[in-house]
Amino acid sequence: MGVDLEAVYRDLHANPELSFQEHRTAGIVAGHLRSLGYEVTEGIGTTGVLGLLRNGDGPTVLLRADMDALPVEEATGLPYASTRRGTDHEGNDVPVMHACGHDVHVACLLGAAERLVDDRGTWAGTLALVFQPGEEWGGGAGVMVRDGLLERMPRPDVVLGQHVGPLPAGFAAVHPGVAFASDDSITVTLHGAGGHGSRPETTVDPVVMAASTILRLQTIVAREVAATDGAVVSVGQVHAGTKNNIIPSEARLGLSVRTFDEAVRQRVLASIERIVRAEAEASGAREAPEVRYDGHYPRTVNDEAATERTAAALRRALGDDRVFDPGVASGSEDVGMLAEASGAPLCYWLLGGADPALFADFLQTRRLPDTPSNHSPKFAPLIEPTLSTGVTTLVAAAREWLGTAA
């Protein structure tokens, strides 16, 4: 009996799990893979799952899907919307939502797993299906590698995967070379001197310090990065204070930095540290600020030859007009860690998940309408044709790299 992908997807969407807490999702994945005849190893890198299907001599193809969700409160209004809550890595109670489409990734790879099993009389080689934890926080690809993922499978000849986004469902997009930006996650702690809100002259106000710092940080991209380069500096978190009439003793900022070039990255990071120190000194801070680097994802670099070969297979599967080059994306991914660690070429593409009716002029203009995108509380991929297209693209890409049965 085949996997009911829509039912699996709805279930995953309604029951999201935070990074490295994907126990239920991993159990569903492992159960489906075993029922299809895959060799299954669970618990790699905490909750990661590896499914192997050995089908004679031939290349090894690694297909990857990430499983984790985000601390976002869903506002889609869907009948299968998440109402789940969880505890994040800092111990906070948070809402949980599949706001980045990893539920789509899991469902599509399970569908591809079944189709490739059914079709194994026509191909030869080994399929390595990697269901990865912690893409949103903690670099789960690297965690799986460090926990021996690559020692449990043949060396892959290629690493393949896809990410759903606000492109029209039924389309795929792939860019050779640098495809996604690097990401640096940074926590800045600004130290002030707290006191009564009625007597600010007796304090060093970290809230004002934080406000000045946030505004000054925006000048890095506007005034220090050349127009021919690219960078993003976003402040996604601001935490300070407990009560309206109390000036707190510290403020904390959470930054996300995206760059496409290592030299630009180093300049941007140095500028952040310079501005943070200077604003603290200008505010009269009695203690130096702290800049903590919480994590780094390298750029996602698609091997040019592998991408050309894979894109041709996608065009054959979907049609020439439904596969295009989107240019470089400012989002970040850790899938490249699997390719780097194994020495295999990478091809990672975008999968359309938005209602095609919203894209009346897309084929001519390539302009995206104003629709909710990844990480939005209203991000809601269209179930079909997103899932069927995602299965088709994974199967087509895998078949391009697998051998032909004798």
- 239 has binding-site annotation: no
**191 annotated ligand-binding residue:** no
Measured CA to CA, the distance from residue 277 to residue 271 in angstroms comes to: 10
CA distance 211 to 86: 30
The verdict on whether residue 102 carries a ligand-binding annotation is yes
If you ran DSSP here, which 8-state letter would residue 47 be given?
Answer: T
Rounded to whole angstroms, how far apart are CA atoms 287 and 289? 6
89 is in an annotated binding site: no
Burial code of 144-183, b = ≥16 C-beta within 10 A, e = fewer? bbeeebbeebeebbbbbbbbbbbbbbbbbbbbbebbbbbb
Using a 10 angstrom Cβ sphere, with 0-12 exposed, 13-18 middle and 19 or more buried, the burial of residue 93 is exposed
Residue 141 buriedness (CB in 10 A; 0-12 / 13-18 / 19+):
buried
Q: Are 322 and 172 in contact (CB under 8 A)?
A: yes
Name the DSSP letter for residue 368.
P
CA atoms within 13 A on the CB side of 286: 9
Bridging pattern class, strands 300-302 and 250-259? unpaired
Q: Binding site for Mn(2+): residue ranges?
A: 100, 102, 136, 163
Can you say which residues are annotated as belonging to the binding site?
100, 102, 136, 163
